[in-house]
């Protein structure tokens, strides 16, 4: 099979940006490096854009908006159908790409990273075909119209997934876009741009500029011809984007950090709840902003929960991301690897009980950015490991004495992105869920729902993605009085 690098090199994509329907040479001369986290080897170099590249992409999107924004929903839905089919045809190539550039185990890339990303395209298409762009309210028509040129900044941890979660609803709404993917995982965006081109989207509707935050991200956020910017990233990056966007009064949507609680009620099915809680907390090696990494449990059940959690963590198979038996691969980049190691050391120094894991690489893995799955218990909510987003396979077990205290602990964070509640009494489960300040709450590990709006309270951001709310972010509301 052709590798992602072979495919992109053969087609001349590695040193190009996709602007105005063409693969163009960048104006900037700075280069970025793609590092395979499983080997720590640099595998390719690629261009980083500058202000001229940003201007060119925004201009192309602005020109295209005049006609694209007035296309019929059925036309846009047809193009999304074609995009979905083309991504389906590239599933293995995309999975191999994600494994190469961010270390995801190939099995996880095939079963989660890629198919869930494609699901966002289908969801946007389904929302579009049933969306009421005009509603009657007495004699007034309330219309929803595309907001304009949208700059989309996506992260390195779920690269393709976040691209489709933003691009698909923006295009469905009738907006034109400029995408800046993370410079730490840029290759899948090139494959996505190829699919956009082959699907037949008009020139300028979708534009891709690679770059870092200071060179491209800040330029997009402050650009006078960008009407909206959507960012998924750290809270620090979200603040910087909002500050840069403020002088031009553009709409800003932010999906930022998290420190999600997983509240266990006294009647929870522990074998199921703890095992699935470890799986959820360590999915994508904990590199998920909504990962439930605070397990809040009844104090009297602490010992039993520790035993089940350790057993579940022992079943994780770390190793070569390309091996079929590997369940968890390498941490996506060196900076994150170092951050995780530091925070594990913090947990030990704070006096938390180390149930499993610890600092250093796992045995037998001396090369590559591999981290031991680590569980701390007897954690107090004031500890740094209970408050700071670690973004790795590190989970805290925090005991409580009363249900009121459990809710207080769950809300004792500057974040409010996701949350979980486990218990057999559904009435109590729902009551607890209603008291948690988070944008999305999961009860007893339900199936993922691409139509469920996703976004945060507090410092986890604002705005929503997925489903109908995801498309509403890209629409302006207009009232036309006397229309009816």
Stated length of the chain: 484
Q: Is the pLDDT of residue 399 over 90?
A: yes
Structural domains in the chain, CATH included, are 4-256+461-480 (3.40.605.10), 261-450 (3.40.309.10)
Q: Are 98 and 285 in contact (CB under 8 A)?
A: no
Give the chain's largest Cα–Cα span.
Answer: 74
Is the per-residue pLDDT at 224 higher than 90?
yes
Q: Tell me: the pLDDT tens digits for 428-445?
A: 999 999 999 999 999 999
> In this structure, how many other beta carbons lie within 10 angstroms of the beta carbon of residue 50?
18
Q: Model-level pTM?
A: 0.97
User: Residue 1's pLDDT band (boundaries 50, 70, 90)?
Assistant: confident
User: What is the percentage of the chain residues whose pLDDT exceeds 90?
Assistant: 100
28: pLDDT strictly greater than 90: no
Calculate the CA 26 to chain-centre distance: 27
Q: Which of 97, 175, 289, 396 is catalytic?
A: 289
How far, in Å, CA of 175 to CA of 163, rounded? 15
What tokens appear for 234 in the block? 């750290």
Q: What is the pLDDT of residues 71-126, one digit of tens each?
A: 999 999 999 999 999 999 999 999 999 999 999 999 999 999 999 999 999 999 99
Is 97 marked active-site?
no
The dihedral formed by the CA atoms of 53, 59, 61 and 66, expressed in degrees to the nearest 10: 180
Options 183, 255, 306, 389, the catalytic residue: 255
Summarised one tens digit per residue, pLDDT across range 303-356 is 999 999 999 999 999 999 999 999 999 999 999 999 999 999 999 999 999 999
Is position 255 annotated as part of the catalytic site? yes
Q: At what angle do helices 91-102 and 73-89 cross, to 10 degrees?
A: 70
The rounded distance, in Å, linking the Cα atoms of 277 and 282 is: 8
């Amino acid at each position: 099979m052709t590798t992602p690098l072979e495919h992109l090199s053969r087609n001349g994509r590695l040193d190009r940006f996709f602007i105005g329907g063409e693969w163009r040479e960048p104006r900037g001369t700075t280069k970025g490096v793609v590092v395979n986290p499983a080997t720590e080897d640099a595998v390719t170099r690629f261009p980083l854009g500058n202000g001229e590249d940003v201007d060119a992409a925004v201009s192309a999107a602005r020109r295209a908006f005049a006609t694209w924004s007035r296309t019929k929903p059925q036309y846009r839905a047809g193009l999304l159908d074609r995009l979905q089919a083309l991504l389906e045809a590239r599933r293995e190539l995309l999975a191999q790409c994600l494994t190469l550039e961010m270390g995801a185990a190939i099995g996880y890339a095939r079963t989660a990273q890629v198919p869930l990303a494609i699901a966002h395209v289908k969801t946007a298409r389904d929302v579009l075909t049933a969306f009421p762009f005009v509603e009657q309210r007495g004699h007034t028509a309330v219309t929803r119209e595309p907001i304009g040129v949208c700059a989309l900044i996506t992260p390195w941890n779920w690269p393709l997934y976040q691209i489709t979660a933003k691009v698909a609803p923006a295009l469905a709404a009738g907006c034109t876009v400029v995408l800046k993917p993370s410079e730490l995982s840029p290759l899948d965006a090139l494959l996505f741009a190829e699919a956009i081109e082959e699907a037949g989207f008009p020139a300028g509707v979708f534009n891709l500029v690679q770059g870092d935050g200071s060179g491209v991200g800040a330029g997009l956020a402050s650009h006078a011809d960008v009407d909206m910017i959507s960012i998924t990233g750290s809270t620090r990056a979200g603040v910087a984007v909002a500050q840069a966007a403020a002088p031009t009064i553009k709409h800003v949507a932010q999906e930022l950090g998290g420190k999600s609680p997983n509240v266990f009620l006294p009647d929870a099915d522990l074998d199921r709840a703890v095992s699935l809680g470890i799986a959820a907390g360590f999915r994508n090696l904990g590199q998920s902003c909504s990962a439930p990494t605070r397990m809040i449990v009844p104090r009297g059940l602490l010992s039993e929960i520790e035993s089940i959690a350790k057993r579940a963590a022992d079943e994780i198979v770390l190793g070569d991301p390309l091996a079929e038996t590997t369940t968890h691969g390498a941490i996506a980049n060196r900076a994150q690897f170092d951050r995780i190691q530091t925070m594990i050391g913090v947990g030990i120094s704070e006096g938390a009980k180390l149930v499993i894991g610890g600092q250093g690489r796992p045995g037998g893995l001396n090369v590559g950015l591999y981290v031991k799955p680590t569980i701390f218990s007897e954690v107090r909510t004031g500890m740094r490991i209970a408050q700071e987003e670690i973004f790795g396979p590190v989970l805290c077990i925090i005991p409580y004495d009363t249900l009121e205290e459990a809710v207080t602990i769950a809300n004792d964070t500057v974040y409010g992105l996701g949350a979980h509640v486990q218990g057999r009494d559904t009435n109590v489960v729902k009551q607890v869920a209603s008291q948690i300040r988070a944008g999305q709450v999961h009860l007893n590990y339900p199936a993922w729902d691409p139509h469920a709006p996703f976004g945060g309270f507090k410092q986890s951001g604002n705005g929503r993605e997925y489903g109908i709310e995801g498309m509403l972010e890209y629409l302006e509301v207009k009232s036309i009085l006397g229309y009816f």
